Amino acid sequence: METIHKKNGRLHIYVRQDKYKGELKSNNWVGRTYINGKQKVSSSGTTNLDEAISVLEKWFDEIQLEKNDNINVNQQTLNQNQENNSEKDVTTPINQENKDILTSTSHAHNETMKEPSKGLTIGMLEKLKNFRFSKSKDNDSTNKEQFKGNANPKTKENKIKKVFQNFFQSKVSKLIVAGEEIAGLDITKEAIRVAQVSQDKEKNWILDKFSYRLLDQEKVTENIIENKDYVAEEIALAMSNAKITSKNVALSIPVTSAIIRVVTSPLMTNDELQKAIETDSLWENLIQLTNNLNDYSIFHQVINRNSKNNTMEILFVASKLSDVNAYASIVKKAGLNPVIIDVRCFTLKNAYDNTKFKSITDKGNSIILELGIDENYMMIIHNNTPVITDIFLRPQEKEHLFNVKSEQISTEAEAVIRRYAMQVKQAITDYESKYENKITSIQVVSSLKNISLLLSVFKKNLPTTEFVNFDPLQSVSVPSYNSEKITGDNKSPLSSVLGLAYRKLDVFGYYKFVTAVKNINLLPNRDAIRQQNKLKFLSGFALKGVAGAVAGIYLLLIVFSYFQISTNKEKLVEFDQVQIEFDKLNIEFLKLAKQRKEMQMSLDLGKMINSNQDTSYRTLAQVARSVPLRVNFTKITFDGNDSLIIEGLAFSDQDILNFIVNLNAKSLIEQASLAAMKVVSTETTTGNNNKKGFIINCKLKAI
148 band by pLDDT with thresholds 50, 70 and 90: very low
Dihedral pair phi/psi, residue 308, rounded to 5°: -65, -45
Average pLDDT over residues 680-697: 77
Based on the domain organization, do 463 and 399 belong to the same domain?
A: yes
- Would the pLDDT of 485 be above 80? yes
Q: How high is the pLDDT of residue 223? A: 84
Convert the pLDDT of each residue in 43-63 to its tens digit.
777 777 777 787 878 778 777
More confident residue, 144 or 467: 467
Residue 32 lies in a domain: yes
Convert the pLDDT of each residue in 70-128 to its tens digit.
444 333 333 333 333 333 333 333 333 333 344 333 333 333 333 333 333 344 444 45
Q: How high is the pLDDT of residue 191? A: 93
Give CA–CA dist 510/518, Å, rounded: 10
Q: What is the CATH number of the domain that holds 450?
A: 3.30.420.40
Based on the domain organization, do 383 and 453 belong to the same domain?
A: yes
Instruction: Pick the last residue of a domain from 546, 573, 600.
Output: 573
What is the overall mean pLDDT for the chain? Answer: 77
Count the neighbouring beta carbons within 10 Å of the beta carbon of residue 344.
28
Residue 31 · residue 59 · CB < 8 Å:
yes
Based on the domain organization, do 369 and 454 belong to the same domain?
A: yes
Range with the largest mean pLDDT of 71-75, 290-294, 472-476, 575-579: 472-476
Residue 595 lies in a domain: no
The string of DSSP codes covering 8-35 is: TTTEEEEEEEEEETTEEEEEEEEEEEEE
Average pLDDT over residues 17-42: 63
Average pLDDT over residues 687-699: 85
- Would the pLDDT of 513 be above 70? no
Q: How high is the pLDDT of residue 214? A: 93
- Would the pLDDT of 18 be above 80? no
Give CA–CA dist 545/613, Å, rounded: 94
Residue 505 lies in a domain: no
Instruction: Pick the last residue of a domain from 573, 594, 622.
Output: 573
Dihedral pair phi/psi, residue 210, rounded to 5°: -155, 145
Provide the number of structural domains found in the chain.
Answer: 4
Based on the domain organization, do 633 and 560 belong to the same domain?
A: no
611 band by pLDDT with thresholds 50, 70 and 90: very low
Based on the domain organization, do 627 and 678 belong to the same domain?
A: yes
Range with the largest mean pLDDT of 30-39, 428-437, 491-500, 632-641: 491-500
19 band by pLDDT with thresholds 50, 70 and 90: very low
365 band by pLDDT with thresholds 50, 70 and 90: low
More confident residue, 687 or 193: 193
Q: How high is the pLDDT of residue 147? A: 39
Q: What is the CATH number of the domain that holds 645?
A: 3.30.1360.100
Residue 663 · residue 623 · CB < 8 Å:
yes
- Would the pLDDT of 304 be above 60? yes
Average pLDDT over residues 514-523: 74
How many residues are present in the chain? 703
Based on the domain organization, do 28 and 86 belong to the same domain?
A: yes
Q: How high is the pLDDT of residue 531? A: 64
Give CA–CA dist 268/276, Å, rounded: 10
Based on the domain organization, do 567 and 615 belong to the same domain?
A: no
Cα radius of gyration (the chain): 51
Average pLDDT over residues 136-141: 40
Residue 158 · residue 142 · CB < 8 Å:
no
- Could you give the percent of the chain with pLDDT greater than 70? 71
CA angle 631, 635, 638 (to 5 degrees): 120
CA angle 608, 614, 619 (to 5 degrees): 60
Q: How high is the pLDDT of residue 488? A: 84
Residue 481 lies in a domain: no
Convert the pLDDT of each residue in 524-581 to its tens digit.
876 766 666 666 655 666 677 778 888 888 888 898 888 888 888 777 777 878 888 8
- Burial of 444: CB neighbours in 10 Å, binned 0-12, 13-18, 19+: buried
Based on the domain organization, do 556 and 631 belong to the same domain?
A: no
Q: How high is the pLDDT of residue 75? A: 39
Based on the domain organization, do 420 and 375 belong to the same domain?
A: yes
Residue 12 lies in a domain: yes
Residue 692 lies in a domain: yes
Q: Any idea which of 46-60, 293-307, 483-497, 616-630 has the lowest mean pLDDT? A: 46-60
Give the CA diameter of the chain: 173
624 band by pLDDT with thresholds 50, 70 and 90: confident
Q: Of the candidates 360, 361, 367, which has an alpha carbon nearest to the alpha carbon of residue 382?
A: 367
196 band by pLDDT with thresholds 50, 70 and 90: very high
Instruction: Pick the last residue of a domain from 573, 601, 631.
Output: 573
Q: H or E stretch including 411?
A: helix 411-435
Q: How far is CA 702 from CA 308, 364, 664, in A?
A: 141, 136, 15
Residue 160 lies in a domain: no
Based on the domain organization, do 566 and 616 belong to the same domain?
A: no
Based on the domain organization, do 616 and 685 belong to the same domain?
A: yes
Residue 503 · residue 528 · CB < 8 Å:
no
Average pLDDT over residues 648-671: 91
Range with the largest mean pLDDT of 85-89, 173-177, 474-478, 577-581: 474-478
Per residue, the 3-state secondary structure of 510-540, as one string, reads HHHHCCHHHCCCCCCCHHHHHHHHHHHHHHH
Q: How high is the pLDDT of residue 701? A: 86
Per residue, the 3-state secondary structure of 33-70, as one string, reads EEECCEEEEEECCCCCHHHHHHHHHHHHHHHHHHHHCC
Q: How high is the pLDDT of residue 500? A: 93
- Domain span holding position 556: 533-573
Q: How high is the pLDDT of residue 100? A: 39
Residue 404 lies in a domain: yes
Residue 642 · residue 635 · CB < 8 Å:
no
Dihedral pair phi/psi, residue 227, rounded to 5°: -115, 55
Average pLDDT over residues 186-207: 91
Q: How high is the pLDDT of residue 540? A: 62
Based on the domain organization, do 564 and 617 belong to the same domain?
A: no
